[in-house]
Amino acid sequence: MIARAAAIVGAGAGAAWSLPALAPVVPALAQALGVPRRRDQGSGVALTFDDGPHPEGTPAVLDLLAAGGAKATFFLVGEQARAYPELAERIAAEGHEIAVHGDRHRVMLRLAPAMIAADLDRAQETIGELTGQRPRFHRPPLGIYSYPGLKIARRLGLEPLLWSRWGRDWSAKSSAASITEMVTADLTPGDVLLLHDADWYSDAGCWRNTVAALPSILERVNAAGLEFQTVSGA
């Protein structure tokens, strides 16, 4: 009886630990946890990029954003910012918003709370120092929070944010056309669009499809009468 009770308690604790991991695919759960998928302010949409910086993908994305007069939010990885500090600096210098994706790209469910805290603390320090911006927002690798990870991010002053539209651009099976169709389908003000300017943690070369899709994405957003805003609303 005692062993059975212990197993039930353990199962419940495990479920509580991992429950936030479902937030990206269960909007009601994201809402209950207070993890936004949208930014409902202003009249625009927020274009966001994860996993960079990248020596090829990031400059290509920045050039297209500059040509289109669009601002975006970049969720940087600390280890890549240290490897390519000049690109982290360029992102900020060109008026884009800086956010935290982590110091290393590791799924929170596999990390003890102390490891999560150390990772986020180092990421904040690295990214803030290199860009001159104090990051306000956080998105975990794969969008997966653990319950402790969510609490730790907030304790460190980071606001969790997921997304409401994505292009599945991390997959080599995606094309520029499919990325564009997915990420711009039924856009409304407040949508947060998820894309990637790097392939460090996904299919090799997938950033090329993102770059190929970006002009069409910019055109469709403009045609819908929507503005590009950073996550913070700038």
pLDDT digits (tens, 9 = 90+) for 73-104: 999 999 999 999 999 999 999 999 999 999 99
Q: Which helix (H) or strand (E) holds 89?
A: helix 85-93
Cα→Cα distances 30→19, 36, 159, Å: 10, 7, 13
When the pLDDT of each residue in the chain is averaged and rounded to a whole number, the result is 91
Cα 6 to chain centroid distance, Å, stands at 37
Question: Is-above-0.85 flag for pTM?
Answer: yes
pLDDT band for position 15 (cuts 50, 70, 90): low
| Percent of the chain residues topping a pLDDT of 90 | 85
Q: Return the percentage of the chain with pLDDT > 70, whole number.
A: 93
**N- to C-terminal Cα separation, the chain:** 58
Q: How many helices (H) and strands (E) does the chain have?
A: 9, 8
d(CA 177, CA 181): 6
Q: Which of 50, 51, 119, 197 is catalytic?
A: 50
Would you state the pLDDT for residue 59? 98
Catalytic residue among 169, 196, 197, 199: 196
pLDDT of residue 41: 74
16-42 mean pLDDT: 87
Instruction: Based on the residue annotation, tell me whether 196 is a catalytic residue of this protein.
Output: yes
pLDDT value at position 6? 29
Q: Work out the average pLDDT over 181-201.
A: 96
Q: What is the mean pLDDT of residues 30-51?
A: 92
Q: What domain range includes position 89?
A: 2-229
Q: Which has the higher per-residue pLDDT, 13 or 161? A: 161
Instruction: Give the mean pLDDT of 24-42.
Output: 89
Q: Is the pLDDT of residue 2 over 50?
A: no
Residue 234 in domain? no
**Domain count of the chain?**
1
Which class for 68: exposed (0-12), middle (13-18), buried (19 or more C-beta within 10 A)? Answer: middle
- Model pLDDT, residue 40: 83
| CATH assignment at residue 72 | 3.20.20.370
Return the pLDDT at 21: 86
Of 138, 195, 135, the residue nearest 165 (C-alpha): 195
Looking at the DSSP bridge assignments, the partners of residue 194 are 48, 166
What local confidence, expressed as pLDDT, does residue 11 receive?
A: 35
Give the mean pLDDT of 39-55.
92
5 pLDDT band (50/70/90 cuts)? Answer: very low
With 60 as the cut, is the pLDDT of residue 13 above it? Answer: no
pLDDT-based confidence at 14, cuts 50/70/90?
A: low
Sign of CA dihedral 62, 183, 105, 74: positive
| 138 carries an active-site annotation | no
179 occurs within a structural domain:
yes
